Amino acid sequence: MESIALVLFILIFILILSGVQVAFVLGGLSVIFGLLFVPDFFSLLPLRIMGTMQNQVLLAVPLFIYMGLMLEKSGLAASMLHAMSRLLGNAKGGLGISVILVGSLLAASTGIVGATVVTMGLISLPVMLKNNYQVELATGTIVSSGTLGQIIPPSVVLVLLGSVLNVSVGDLFKAALLPGLILICAYVLYVFVISRIRPGIAPPIQHDPDHAVSTKDILTAFLLPFILIIAVLGSIFAGIASPTEASAVGAMGATILTFTQGKFSMKVLREVMQGATHLTSMVFLILLGATTFALVFRGLEGDRYLVDLIQESDLSATTFLILIMVVVFILGFFIDFIEIIFIVVPVVAPIFTAYGIDLIWIGILLALNLQTSFLTPPFGFSLFYLKGVAPPEVSTTQIYRGVIPFLIIQIFVLMLVAFFPEILDII
């Protein structure tokens, strides 16, 4: 039976890499194997599906997606970049630092990598190129800051990881906060230093003194989204609200912010709701397929077989962790993070538990790892998001070269968290 479980696992990956829709591969193959090899399969499946559907934490997924899409429509990203570039643009590298800070705030507000990278690419890349920024530095700055939505709470990735690992989403949010801040500071430091070493690649911006940024512009651009972030994360960290309740606050807050910016309309509401429904349906269809796969895989005793295999091979906990991180990193080139979370993580989580490893720490390492794979040439998804909205004169090779320094920073922070897990307990 154990060998049949491994055949199922391998077949799923082969079909996914060949381009077949993930949800149908997971659900379809698992149902076939379940009918053939798992006794009472149809008696057990409804219970597992209903258990998943009754998981209130997962309600945060559509609400955070709605929040991110609504903020994308609000125009706050453009307002923030305008105000920040007015404040810092006169310094060398000031515009690049502005893009990182705005991208970080947008990532924390939306939690959706694709939306953040595309929005920042459309808004900031033309401005940076117009002001004679080196193409590589401009694209690297945008794509790396936009991908921070993977790790900075509230992140859809962390919500899904919390559900699969069966750990508190609030604890994951709290643990991810410091690594996210370290990444932001490291990105800012890199741009600051490189603009001093090579001033020509990040020149100051010459602003018209008659159009200086006002206090009202700063308050409008930064105070409102900052209040929204504090309302969402503060309520979770203070124990006032669960992640699901806080996501509802975020969704309503994003709608109010869009209204205050004069961008709210029934057309915008309809587009946001359609987009949120589309993305949520995709996530939950994959989730139901993954639930079926987990039931069949465990029914075939595949999880117990893997645990026994790892323990008998005399792999240390550290060696196994490194092995899984390398596998997840490579898989991140080819398949989406949602698929990795729902296929790989449930299989390896029992092994981490058997080793006595803290699953909160594992969740943060996986989130950082998936974020790194988003940035890694040649298949990083964020690189393709930016290329899709970049001007024709910006080549794919330039985007690849530009992201390398930020990728090195990302790997450094991943290793920092791996070697010093106590960092997660500071906040």
DSSP 259-306: HHTT---HHHHHHHHHHHHHHHHHHHHHHHHHHHHHHHHHHTTHHHHH
Question: φ, ψ for residue 316 (rounded to 5)?
Answer: -75, 165
- Mean pLDDT calculated for residue range 270-276: 90
pLDDT at residue 406, as a whole number: 94
> What is the C-alpha R_g of the chain?
22
pLDDT of residue 255 exceeding 50: yes
pLDDT at residue 210, as a whole number: 46
Report which of 186, 229, 172 is spatially closest to residue 367, judged by C-alpha positions: 172
Rounded CA separation 76/108 (Å): 13
Question: Three-class SS of residue 137?
Answer: helix
pLDDT (tens digit per residue) in 109-137:
666 676 678 778 877 888 888 888 899 99
Q: What mean pLDDT is reported for the chain?
A: 83
Helix, strand, coil in percent for the chain, rounding step 5: 80, 0, 20
pLDDT (tens digit per residue) in 275-319:
889 888 877 887 788 788 878 887 887 767 776 777 677 778 888
pLDDT (tens digit per residue) in 354-375:
888 999 999 999 999 988 888 8
H helices present in 89-234, as ranges: 94-110, 113-130, 135-146, 156-165, 169-197, 215-218, 224-229
Contacts of residue 13, defined as CB under 8 A and 6 or more positions apart, other chains included, come to 343
Rounded CA separation 387/122 (Å): 11
Greatest alpha-carbon span in the chain = 77
Containing 340, the helix (H) or strand (E) segment is helix 337-354
Rounded CA separation 388/347 (Å): 34
pLDDT (tens digit per residue) in 361-420:
999 999 999 888 888 887 777 887 788 878 888 888 899 999 999 999 999 999 999 999
pLDDT of residue 18 exceeding 50: yes
Is the pTM higher than 0.95? The answer reads: no
Contacts of residue 416, defined as CB under 8 A and 6 or more positions apart, other chains included, come to 179, 182, 423
Report which of 100, 81, 32 is spatially closest to residue 213, judged by C-alpha positions: 81
Q: How many CB atoms lie within 10 A of CB 378?
A: 10
Structure token digits, residue 375: 């940035």
Report which of 153, 145, 199 is spatially closest to residue 176, judged by C-alpha positions: 153
Q: Which of 13-27, 32-46, 246-260, 277-291 has the lowest mean pLDDT?
A: 13-27
pLDDT at residue 191, as a whole number: 93
pLDDT (tens digit per residue) in 153-190:
878 888 889 988 989 888 998 999 999 999 999 999 99
Contacts of residue 420, defined as CB under 8 A and 6 or more positions apart, other chains included, come to none
Report which of 59, 226, 228, 230 is spatially closest to residue 156, judged by C-alpha positions: 59
Question: Three-class SS of residue 167?
Answer: coil
Contacts of residue 200, defined as CB under 8 A and 6 or more positions apart, other chains included, come to 134
Task: Give the N- to C-terminal CA distance of the chain in Å, as an integer.
Answer: 46
- CA 252, distance to chain mean position in Å, is 22
